[in-house]
Structure 1
Amino acid sequence: MGQQPREQWGTRAGFLMAAIGSAVGLGNIWRFPYVAYENGGGAFLLPYLIAMLSAGIPLLILEYSIGHRYRSSAPLSYRRIYRPAEAIGWWQVAICFVVAVYYAVIIAWAVRFVGFSATEAWGNDTESFFMNDFIQVSDTPGAVSGFVSGVAWPLIGVWVVALVILVLGVRRGIEITNKIVLPLLLVLFGLLVIQALTLPGAADGLNAFFTPDWEAMLTGKVWIAAYGHVFFSLSVGFGIMVTYSSYLRRKADLTGSAMVTSFSNSSFELLAGIGVFACLGFMAANAGVGVNEVATSGIGLAFVAFPEIISSLPFGGPVFGMLFFGCLVIAGITSLISIVQVIIAAVQERTNLGRVQSVLLVGGATALASILLFPTPEGLHFLDVFDHFINQYGIALAGLVLVIFISWIARRLRVLEKHVNSVSSVSLGLWWRAALGVVTPILLGLVMWDSLRAELMSNYEDYPTGFLLAAGWGVAIGAIVFGIVVSCFPWKRADAIARADARQATDQDGDEPAPLAEPTEITETDAARKEDR
């Protein structure tokens, strides 16, 4: 099969829309408000901002620089930097597979709840409706015991939409989709927030959200929470931003793009916090309790608390519900296509398949796994454990290992800094190397240690040990093993297009990326390593 030309974004705005669309996901709406509330309220915004400047933006610039300089998927980009680092790329591919299979089902739930909102179909007991009537969750985790058609059909629809967008490609599919749906998301969510602010009790909710607890800032827990949330919020550690930036044109403002993406994502999170806590304030006032008694996050907030709020609204409940769940669908779809694109890009380079074949192979396998496992009574248990373990011991750990490889082992920060400075409006310097070489590894290490310590003290959510070993630790460790095993197989065909792209990415001072070997097998000689450094 002939070599496939590498795709490119049509415009810088298209890339920014896609990057922001990936970062703005379900977690912005249902995770950030509660994390901020639990960790000092308004006082949390200061550690959050410091975490963004000292770790979030530097990490984002790092991933942009790797993708733009080496113009390849995550595995091949890392391989060019340091041969053993290819395993990190395939590890991230496995992580993306796991995240995609359960992330899609949450979008499918939101699709159904758009329809449920029109008639407030959940009745008076929103929790029973969601758990028992809709997803029909089993009492205990275990092997799949049935099939829930009310979840399966919208899930199939979600995958059809996502795969059609991906088949159309980077420019005609991902870029155009984000250009349309991101402004729509902003408009819809803006309308939702405006309506929420008019509700009785909204001021109480905002006071709970913004009232600062300055003493909380003196505890390490708050700072760990800030750095942990920033890391998950910006879509770093998946290989997404490496993949997306590899489709940029030669001249690209990487630092400017990273700042625009970061602050756009943070602005949406703040807007989400205002909207969510205005609603929770109304819910608390309506029930005659404090905001602290109704504050929640995650699936419970979206599919239990919000339907209850919708039913309690004095007017416009159905419209409010359709706005909220419509926002979840849009935010989820833009993130889902970015996650699956990481896998597609890696498979395309490894197999030299075309776009359509790669999407059908990768997307078909991912969609099949999702459809077989999650529209079942046991689906919620699998989702909960997958999400917890792949986030804590997949995404975060892979990001930590990548930073250590780049800054301490391969020592490539100076080379990447030169590359970024040659194409960007804001130059990097010692602060960037210090942030990635010292601050980020230490703080990510603390996040990991804090999480692992809690994990070893008691079973997560009191799940049976056997289930956690299989669906939790087994999945997280399996992703690592997959990355190592796949990286051990030789590349049978050198990609001439990738070599040409690497030459185009040559720095102004003539420092080239590590050249690939000739077509028999991709290897690195000592001379190539020396030249690369």
Structure 2
Amino acid sequence: MDEARPLWATPLQFVFACISYAVGLGNVWRFPYLCQMYGGGSFLVPYLIMLTVEGMPLLYLELAVGQRMRQGSIGAWRTINPYLSGVGVASVVVSFFLSMYYNVINAWAFWYLFHSFQDPLPWSVCPLNGNRTGYDEECEKASSTQYFWYRKTLNISPSIQESGAVQWEPALCLILAWLLVYLCILRGTESTGKVVYFTALLPYCVLIIYLVRGLTLHGATNGLAYMFTPKMEQLANPKAWINAATQIFFSLGLGFGSLIAFASYNEPSNNCQKHAVIVSIINSSTSIFASVVTFSIYGFKATFNYESCLNKVILLLTNSFDLEDGFLTVSNLEEVKSYLASAYPSKYSEVFPQIKNCSLESELETAVQGTGLAFIVYTEAIKNMEVSQLWSVLYFFMLLMLGIGSMLGNTAAILTPLTDSKVISSYLPKEAISGLVCLVSCAIGLVFTVEAGNYWFDIFNDYAATLPLLLIVLVEAAAVCYLYGLRRFESDLKAMTGHALNWYWKAMWGGVSPLLIISLFVFYLSDYVITGTLQYQAWDASQVCKNTQPRSWAVSFSTWAAVKRVRFHPELPGGLCPLRPLRQGQARLEGMAPEELGGAGTGVYTGVARTEPGTERGTQEAGLHLLTQQRAAHQCFNNLDSRITAPGLRVSLGCPCTDTLIKKIYFLRKVIQLTNLDFFPCG
């Protein structure tokens, strides 16, 4: 043990450092999404159970290892067993991967924060087109908030292959974010210990302010009712339990080595068991609290959109049937619609396609997570608030503090093992090592500021740390319990803290928690294999969903599927489509006419689709995706000239209308196994 090792000034600094690290963006933008997806209040049941049997025990394990060994991840695991040095190295590598892209979120928060002082907010209105005769076409097809995110912030390219140039404004924000991180970690625990008071407490102040404001917004109760109304049938959904376990695992930041690094600066007698319980409970409570805030604002947004939709329908019917102003209201809308349909059937049939289906429930069911929630949905709600600039500044400042707090822990996971190394520290002072790590991470992070950078961000965010972290924590638990020895570790803890391990911690470390990690590992591994090709969401100015594959080296588990399907993202109309492949040979068509496949105007398609404004969302059924396009698909079906004689033969699509409806599409009257077919688009 190094007697000169720096220590936290007080145990409270250590607790705040752990809270600042654990309570991050996932608490704000992922947990509310999971509540929305898996039954509202009923999701709390698997979530709290997983906290008890997985999150809290593993958090205590890492804190105890760091405090006992008093070294970073590499040195701590080398002390336990020389063959376990690789576990610490793996933690450092994963933390370095995370540092490369995670700070980009802080750069985006800086970008939005700087623009929050404008009046009006730049994402509240669409810009004019080139000749200033109307609004920009891309913005009109999407929305002003989507346009500002994808075009002004990211200037996103149509695909990952079109890298584009570095966007200098986000790049400058990234440099600023790394400069801020460097200043916070410059003096080690001395500087970090002071910063964490701010990064840990300020987000709660903003959340409380937002809660008070959110509860006073029109429609907030609709969102809260949706959140707290349990759907108990979701308890039988295995994905609800898997996602609860995953959320607990990654929210606490297990496996990165950050918690081990923080605990290594504790006094040996520190009660890390008590602190593990406190941090776990505060982290989960923050997730629930943030969900209340999110759903109150989400209810306001959903109600606003619902009432705006109704007002558009009222205006349309009033103008179409020359009704008196004020005659048609929300309360009598359905009654008047029924009367108009029966009294003026021909005229109503002409107007009917323009009448939108307004539903508050569908607005509330629109599930969004990640950057879509933080930079699109929230900004959509903020722009409709009074004094929107104030709420925007508070919100993005809170995001920045959450992101910086997580980065402090992430950089500690890298720097602590490096500064513990006598080989490196003998040549470079601590400040130089910190600066070098920040400089290298910032330089590599510029990749995420090119036009295709957001695609790489999504790939790294989804795949860079998932499986490695599960494997790291599994080895950690096995190493402590079966290599170092649970009894030996128990005696070490008793000698340090004066508290013996009870049966709960022993049972969790020795069996329950590792089994849960193995289950998660098998699930994610099988999901990669079964799902097939790993893909990403692509945005295109013309609203085209592109089925583009990521670079082969970006992920490890990638299989090719012969048939792809496109599923439309509900919250991003027409523009952004998550693409999920089918297994080879899964899709077949049993020689049915369009009318038999779901009514007039319905066609079955695979491949790449283009959607027009107003197009209904597709649904997936028996491996086929059905797209409604109001008679266009039916006409296209009749005009189609498909010539197929054997598997592997090239198919020519002689349909003049498919180029504006669907590329790489075919409709087959015969039973066809979709294998080894080459497609040629119309025209």
Which deviations, in whole Å up to 9, do the C-alpha atoms of 1:424-471 show, x marking residues without a partner? Answer: 486422221221221112111222222222222233345778625322
Q: How far apart are 1:128 and its partner, in Å?
A: 1.4
The 3 A distance-change label for structure 1 pair 396 and 316 is farther
- Which residue does 1:339 correspond to in 2? 410
Q: TM-score, normalised by structure 1?
A: 0.84
CA distance in 2, matches of 1:212, 1:425: 43
CA distance in 1, matches of 2:536, 2:416: 38
The SS at the match of 1:469 is coil
- Aligned partner (choices 548, 551, 555) of residue 472 of structure 1: 555
The 3 A distance-change label for structure 1 pair 428 and 122 is same
- Which residue does 2:419 correspond to in 1? 348
Q: Is the 8 A contact 1:122 1:129 kept in 2?
A: yes
Q: How far apart are 1:34 and its partner, in Å?
A: 0.8
The SS at the match of 2:218 is coil
CA distance in 1, matches of 2:3, 2:433: 12
- Which residue does 1:254 correspond to in 2? 272
Q: Is the 8 A contact 1:28 1:269 kept in 2?
A: yes
- Which residue does 2:454 correspond to in 1? 380
Count of residues in correspondence between the two structures: 469
Alignment of 1:478-497 (within 5 A): none
Identical-pair percentage: 28
Say which is worse superposed, 36-45 or 412-421, in terms of deviation.
Answer: 412-421
- Aligned partner (choices 375, 395, 402) of residue 303 of structure 1: 375
2:90 aligned with 1:91, yes or no? Answer: yes
Say which is worse superposed, 460-469 or 113-122, in terms of deviation.
Answer: 460-469
The SS at the match of 1:374 is helix
2:534 aligned with 1:446, yes or no? Answer: no
Say which is worse superposed, 18-27 or 350-359, in terms of deviation.
Answer: 350-359
The 3 A distance-change label for structure 1 pair 397 and 465 is farther
- Aligned partner (choices 438, 446, 461) of residue 363 of structure 1: 438
The 3 A distance-change label for structure 1 pair 6 and 111 is same
Please give the root-mean-square deviation of Cα atoms over the aligned residues, in Å.
Answer: 2.0
Q: Is the 8 A contact 2:534 2:549 kept in 1?
A: no
Q: Is the 8 A contact 1:255 1:420 kept in 2?
A: no
Q: How far apart are 1:58 and its partner, in Å?
A: 0.6
- Which residue does 2:391 correspond to in 1? 320
The SS at the match of 2:492 is helix
More helix by share: 1
CA distance in 1, matches of 2:102, 2:284: 21
Q: How far apart are 1:220 and its partner, in Å?
A: 2.2
The 3 A distance-change label for structure 1 pair 263 and 455 is same
Q: Is the 8 A contact 1:254 1:420 kept in 2?
A: no
Q: How far apart are 1:70 and its partner, in Å?
A: 0.5
More strand by share: 2
CA distance in 1, matches of 2:32, 2:460: 23
- Which residue does 1:51 correspond to in 2? 50
Amino acid across the alignment from 1:149:
W
The 3 A distance-change label for structure 1 pair 331 and 462 is closer
Alignment of 1:142-161 (within 5 A): 142=161, 144-161=163-180
Say which is worse superposed, 316-325 or 457-466, in terms of deviation.
Answer: 457-466
Q: How far apart are 1:100 and its partner, in Å?
A: 0.8
The SS at the match of 2:255 is coil
- Which residue does 2:289 correspond to in 1? 271
- Which residue does 1:136 correspond to in 2? 155
- Which residue does 2:309 correspond to in 1? none
CA distance in 1, matches of 2:147, 2:490: 54
The SS at the match of 1:118 is coil
- Aligned partner (choices 196, 214, 217) of residue 235 of structure 2: 217
CA distance in 2, matches of 1:460, 1:250: 46
CA distance in 2, matches of 1:451, 1:91: 19
Q: Is the 8 A contact 2:8 2:193 kept in 1?
A: yes
Alignment of 1:391-430 (within 5 A): 391-408=465-482, 410-424=483-497, 427-430=500-503
Q: How far apart are 1:473 and its partner, in Å?
A: 2.7
Q: Which structure has the larger Rg?
A: 2
CA distance in 2, matches of 1:79, 1:17: 28
Say which is worse superposed, 80-89 or 454-463, in terms of deviation.
Answer: 454-463
CA distance in 1, matches of 2:366, 2:548: 30
- Which residue does 1:167 correspond to in 2? 186
2:113 aligned with 1:42, yes or no? Answer: no
Which deviations, in whole Å up to 9, do the C-alpha atoms of 1:66-98 show, x marking residues without a partner? Answer: 100100010110011112211011101010011
Amino acid across the alignment from 2:29:
W
Q: How far apart are 1:176 and its partner, in Å?
A: 0.1
Which of structures 1 and 2 has the larger relative contact order (alpha carbons within 8 angstroms, sep 6+)? Answer: 1
Amino acid across the alignment from 1:453:
S
Which deviations, in whole Å up to 9, do the C-alpha atoms of 1:47-66 show, x marking residues without a partner? Answer: 11111111111101100111
- Which residue does 1:500 correspond to in 2? none
Which deviations, in whole Å up to 9, do the C-alpha atoms of 1:313-338 show, x marking residues without a partner? Answer: 2x122211111111100000011011
- Which residue does 2:219 correspond to in 1? 201
Say which is worse superposed, 204-213 or 11-20, in terms of deviation.
Answer: 204-213
CA distance in 2, matches of 1:341, 1:42: 36
2:269 aligned with 1:235, yes or no? Answer: no
2:290 aligned with 1:283, yes or no? Answer: no
Say which is worse superposed, 351-360 or 462-471, in terms of deviation.
Answer: 462-471
Q: Is the 8 A contact 2:42 2:235 kept in 1?
A: yes
Q: How far apart are 1:259 and its partner, in Å?
A: 0.9
The 3 A distance-change label for structure 1 pair 213 and 468 is farther
- Which residue does 1:121 correspond to in 2? 122
Gaps of 5+ in 2: 126-143, 307-359, 538-546, 559-683
Q: Is the 8 A contact 1:202 1:281 kept in 2?
A: yes
Q: TM-score, normalised by structure 2?
A: 0.66
CA distance in 2, matches of 1:269, 1:61: 20
- Which residue does 2:400 correspond to in 1? 329
Say which is worse superposed, 122-131 or 426-435, in terms of deviation.
Answer: 426-435
CA distance in 1, matches of 2:368, 2:498: 41
Amino acid across the alignment from 2:186:
V
The SS at the match of 2:196 is helix
